[in-house]
């Protein structure tokens, strides 16, 4: 069974909402994700699947309870939105106030609480509108993401914005390829593809560390998927 602890040199995937990116963990390395810069030192020794928030360039691990609290709506639902007007005057706090709170080191949770308290219309919104409002503010002020082990499915999510790089393959298409080719645990497989190693990664996952694979590809450069494939091999054989 693969080790579930993040180690020096591992490739990981940072995921926040629908955004995913691959990073390699190295001591003192600076990472830039979702317009936020931070060091990855605090990830070493942590478990895959952990959620972190960025605090002044450092990572702080959040407990499962804390993550659930941050995802909940923090107010009672209102009646409806029929009498609400979209106006800047609805928010008493100005941009200068928010910037001062950030410079004073206040957490994203506290800033969101202040925004809710100083909103003249939040309590009158429907629960759906409240959740939408909080989601928007959390994305802007709460820098939180989850660190995941690389998988072929997650890599496909990364390429969803540039599908031409993986020949427009979809998860269901890859599933059909694996099923029709009868790839299973312990199989001997030859893979010919120009999808940056994506099909190869899927085959390696299906083999589970047992079997043989011959990969034929005209491109020998270190692409994103090729790095992830090497990571799969490390986990499978550990």
* Residues β-bridged to residue 5: 47
Least confident of 20-24, 104-108, 116-120, 195-199: 104-108
Q: Please indicate, yes or no, if residue 171 is contained in any of the structural domains.
A: yes
- What angle, 0 to 180 degrees and rounded to 10, lies between the N-to-C axes of helices 224-237 and 198-207? 10
> What average pLDDT does range 108-123 have in this prediction?
75
Domain boundary among 87, 105, 140: 140
CA geometry: angle 211, 192, 178, nearest 5 deg? 55
Q: Please indicate, yes or no, if residue 10 is contained in any of the structural domains.
A: no
Nearest to residue 12, comparing CAs of 155, 162, 218, 165?
Answer: 155
Q: Please indicate, yes or no, if residue 227 is contained in any of the structural domains.
A: yes
Domain of 228 in residue numbering reads as: 163-237
- 178 and 114 share one domain: no
Q: What share of the chain in percent tops pLDDT 90?
A: 8
Q: Print burial letters for 182-198: b (CB count within 10 Å at least 16), e (below 16).
A: ebeeeeebebebebbbb
Q: Please indicate, yes or no, if residue 118 is contained in any of the structural domains.
A: yes
> What average pLDDT does range 121-128 have in this prediction?
72
- 136 and 179 share one domain: no
Q: Number of folded domains in the chain?
A: 2
- 127 and 171 share one domain: no
Q: Please indicate, yes or no, if residue 37 is contained in any of the structural domains.
A: no
Tens of pLDDT, residues 63-88: 776 666 666 654 455 556 555 656 66
Tens of pLDDT, residues 5-40: 999 888 899 998 778 888 889 888 888 888 888 888
Q: Please indicate, yes or no, if residue 122 is contained in any of the structural domains.
A: yes
Tens of pLDDT, residues 203-237: 988 888 888 888 876 655 555 555 656 665 565 55
pLDDT at 98: 75
């Amino acid at each position: 069974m693969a080790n579930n602890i993040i180690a020096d040199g591992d490739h990981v995937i940072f995921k926040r909402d629908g955004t995913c990116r691959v990073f390699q963990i190295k001591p003192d390395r600076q990472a830039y994700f979702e317009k936020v810069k931070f060091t990855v030192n605090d990830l070493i020794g942590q478990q895959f699947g952990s959620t972190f928030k960025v605090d002044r360039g450092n990572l702080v691990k959040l407990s499962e309870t804390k993550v659930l609290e941050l995802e909940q709506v923090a107010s009672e639902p209102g009646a409806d939105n029929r009498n609400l007007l979209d106006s800047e005057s609805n928010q008493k706090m100005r941009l200068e106030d928010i910037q001062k709170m950030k410079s004073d080191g206040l957490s994203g949770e506290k800033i969101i609480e202040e925004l809710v308290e100083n909103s003249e219309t939040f309590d009158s919104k429907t629960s759906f509108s409240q959740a939408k409002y909080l989601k928007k503010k959390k994305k802007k002020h709460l820098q939180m993401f989850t660190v995941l082990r690389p998988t072929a499915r997650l890599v496909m999510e990364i390429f969803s914005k540039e599908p031409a790089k993986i020949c427009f393959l979809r998860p269901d298409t890859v599933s059909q390829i694996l099923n029709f080719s009868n790839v299973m645990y312990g199989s001997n497989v030859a893979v010919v593809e120009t999808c940056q190693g994506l099909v190869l990664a899927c085959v390696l996952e299906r083999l589970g560390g047992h079997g043989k694979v011959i990969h034929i590809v005209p491109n020998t450069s270190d692409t994103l998927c090729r790095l992830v494939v090497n990571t799969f091999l490390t986990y499978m054989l550990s």
